[in-house]
């Protein structure tokens, strides 16, 4: 999975389905591939499929939030993540294809979840990109990558960043 830093002292956002196995211990690896932090605590909001991970750090680079209420179909969308869990720091470019979509996502094991009000994009999102940021052309986070569509090319979905703001 992927995440992004929202506080310089070590708060990281991802999807709850990325860190949903309580029997596992987790570590955060920064995009340089060398800096590794043990996870202190994980706060989960399963209904929103969001998780806030705490690590102990200082002066980490943080993202800037955009406003997902103001996004428009056709605007630039940039997805960042660890595609397939093998290709870290993958960046794909596309457009916002739809707003306020409803999505029923399945994990392949018979479990499914309905997402309301998600952003649809044609920026390629693959397994491993979950929890990564969807950015606007100014580099501000407008969404959290959450799902892709099997059997189609470049139909992906993100949770609007404004869903995260009150949780954070």
Catalytic residue numbers read 17, 49, 130
Hey, is 151 helix, strand or coil? coil
Q: Using an 8 Å Cβ cutoff, are 57 and 6 in contact?
A: no
- Give the closest residue to 135 by CA, choosing from 155, 158, 152, 118: 158
Paired sense of beta strands 50-54 and 11-14, if any? antiparallel
């Amino acid at each position: 999975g992927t995440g992004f830093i929202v506080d310089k002292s070590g708060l990281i956002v991802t999807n709850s389905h990325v860190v949903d196995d309580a029997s596992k211990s987790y570590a955060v690896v920064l995009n340089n591939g060398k800096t590794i932090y043990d996870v202190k605590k994980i706060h989960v909001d399963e209904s929103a499929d969001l998780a806030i991970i705490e690590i102990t750090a200082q002066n980490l680079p943080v993202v800037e939030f955009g406003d997902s209420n103001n996004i428009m179909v056709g605007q630039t969308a940039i997805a960042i993540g660890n595609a397939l869990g093998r290709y870290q720091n993958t960046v794909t470019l596309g457009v916002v294809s739809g707003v306020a979509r409803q999505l029923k996502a399945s994990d392949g094991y018979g479990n499914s979840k309905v997402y309301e009000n998600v952003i649809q994009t044609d920026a390629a999102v693959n397994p491993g990109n979950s929890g990564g940021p969807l950015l606007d052309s100014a580099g501000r986070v407008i969404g959290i990558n959450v799902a892709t569509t099997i059997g189609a090319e470049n139909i992906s979905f993100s949770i609007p960043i404004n869903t995260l703001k009150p949780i954070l």
